[in-house]
């Protein structure tokens, strides 16, 4: 009987936690804090540049050496940072770029 109480408590805690993790990027999310964010335009750790020989980033890791498009994402990131300093996250920049790339490549009848 004691085991069932523990299981019930764990189930309750997990269901509360799982219910609160449904965040997603939505159209117009930055409409008040950075109105032009979607018009201007990171697992973001791969976007970080190395600052010294002792501070190597994921960008230079062997599995990531074949990644392309850093220059485009850096351009979007710099435009957004100029328009809205410290507002739009790197992860959201990657999501916006991915969304726009998919929309641009869809063939419409």
pLDDT at 57: 77
- Please state, in angstroms and as integers, the Cα–Cα distance from residue 65 to each residue in 9, 11, 43, 68, 87, following that order: 46, 42, 15, 8, 29
Q: What is the pLDDT of residue 42?
A: 44
* Segment 32-85, tens digit of pLDDT: 888 887 776 544 566 677 777 777 777 777 877 787 888 888 888 888 889 988
Please, what are the domains in the chain? 24-105 (1.10.520.10)
Ramachandran sector of residue 10 (left: φ over 0; alpha: ψ -120 to 50; beta: rest): alpha
Binding-site entries: 41, 43, 45, 58
Residues 7-25 have pLDDT tens digits of 556 555 555 555 545 556 5
Can you tell me the mean pLDDT for 95-107?
79
Annotated binding site for Ca(2+): 41, 43, 45, 58
How far is Cα 88 from Cα 39, in angstroms, rounded to an integer? 13
Which pTM was predicted? 0.46
């Amino acid at each position: 009987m004691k085991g069932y109480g523990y299981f019930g408590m764990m189930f309750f805690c997990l269901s509360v936690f799982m219910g609160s993790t449904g965040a997603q990027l939505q159209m117009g999310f930055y409409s008040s804090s950075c109105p032009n964010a979607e018009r201007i335009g990171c697992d973001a750790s791969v976007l970080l540049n190395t600052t010294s020989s002792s501070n190597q980033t994921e960008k230079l890791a062997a599995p990531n050496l074949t990644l392309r498009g850093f220059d485009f994402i850096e351009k979007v990131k710099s435009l957004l940072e100029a328009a809205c300093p410290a507002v739009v996250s790197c992860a959201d920049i990657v999501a916006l770029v991915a969304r726009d790339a998919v929309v641009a490549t869809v063939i419409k009848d």
